[in-house]
Structure 1
Amino acid sequence: MSLFFSSSFMFAQIHTADSIGKPKNLKFKYEALIIPTILIGYGAIGLESHTLKDLNSGTRNELKEHIDEKFTIDDISQYTPFLSVYALNTAGIKGKNNFKDRSIILVSAYVIMGATVNIIKTTGNELRPDGTSNNSFPSGHTATAFMGAEFLYQEYKDVSIWYGISGYVVAAGTGFFRMYNDRHWFSDIAAGAGIGILSTKIAYWIHPLLKNSLFKDRDKLNGMIVPIYNGKQYGLGIVMGF
């Protein structure tokens, strides 16, 4: 069986070192919902609140005063946090889970995040700051980056908190450049961050169920990752066989 999901990417096979020991799974904690709920709530309220819309416009105007040219680093940086998990394991720095378990978690988080973002985008009608389309809310780049940042944090917080902090710094930078490049409002960034974080948390919570049902008899899992650029957009696709 194989899985494929994409934001426009293909895969070259990856061989990574597995962590030692049994995978540890997070237990559901209501307090873990506080930050993502606040972020998502802020973004949702920002769609209607005149005060928050004024803040969106003010932030955009402030950035435009200092913009000389656009930097599309956000097209790459959105993937950096979760790819860092595999890079660190390849370098011999063991994380919380082995390759199979962390990949199941990542795919679950990506599917949850991607489905949520795309459903909201296609059913919403929020004009982008640059006026190019009506799917500004929420920011998919930011959601991907914060999904990966939370993934990096959960896998390496017991090794060093700084891995997680660095992932969140990159994610925050991704959100900033989405605004800097005039692609999103601040409320889009806030909602995207909340969706990304929450998607990863949900993926860890449901991992025991997925592992003991869909993947119970699957001892090995292989994956491939290759970046693709279509002349306009960068993307990432994942093919996994197990």
Structure 2
Amino acid sequence: MGDEGGEVLSILNEEVEDWREEQGVRDGEMHVFLGDSNGPGLVDAGLDVSPPDIIINRTESGKKWTSLSIIVRRDINWWQLAAQSFGCTMGVAVIWLSGNDSYPHPKRPLEPLIGLDALEAHILLVLRTLRDVARRVIIVGPIPRFRFDRGLPWERTPAYQAERLIVKMLQRENLTPSFAEVCCVGRYFSVRVRSRRVVGDKCAQLFADDGIHLSSAGYRLVLSKLPRWLQPDAGA
């Protein structure tokens, strides 16, 4: 190639970074959404991020803390590959495991459930693994299941017990607020009856016909309780 056609412009990396900082330009972050079969409904309701950030969906039917603790490194590999492919830095892991650890499987009702102590160990393993790569973790709390909890006070549901476990564990392990936070959404699937909150009949509209998954209104309710940056189209 000849010399004509213009000079080669050489810019030092430091100069580029200084210019980007002055202009308010930042690298995009690659976030990941880890969820169960309720996850796609939340995505359809509007779970997203604003450019230049990207969020990838790693939801799977039946996913729970006990299974995620085994496969989390696989999901991390996908996340890191996506970040590298798009030139993004690693961002936030958003986790919504809505209750498969705490409630009977609809097709396997006699299958034993994991105890709270064992559940805590699996959650801790996931968080400690993510701590090596994620900037932060947001856990969306479990929700009651109308199929099993209808008529129960919120505080007597398995979802409440799991939520309290997560909140107390994060505090005890000094993971909050610096690294992890919990969006406690379960109580919004109950109504006030005198001095208590109950999973009452009025809550049925928030659930799908199976009483396990949510209706469109239920997913919108969960989304509305999440940080604003995860619902960029809210109010549009």
Which bin holds the TM-score, normalised by the shorter protein? Answer: under 0.3
Q: Calculate the TM-score normalised by the size of structure 1.
A: 0.26
Q: Which has the larger radius of gyration?
A: 2
Which has the larger share of helix? 1
The structure whose RCO (Cα within 8 Å, separation 6+) is larger is 1
Which has the larger share of strand? 2
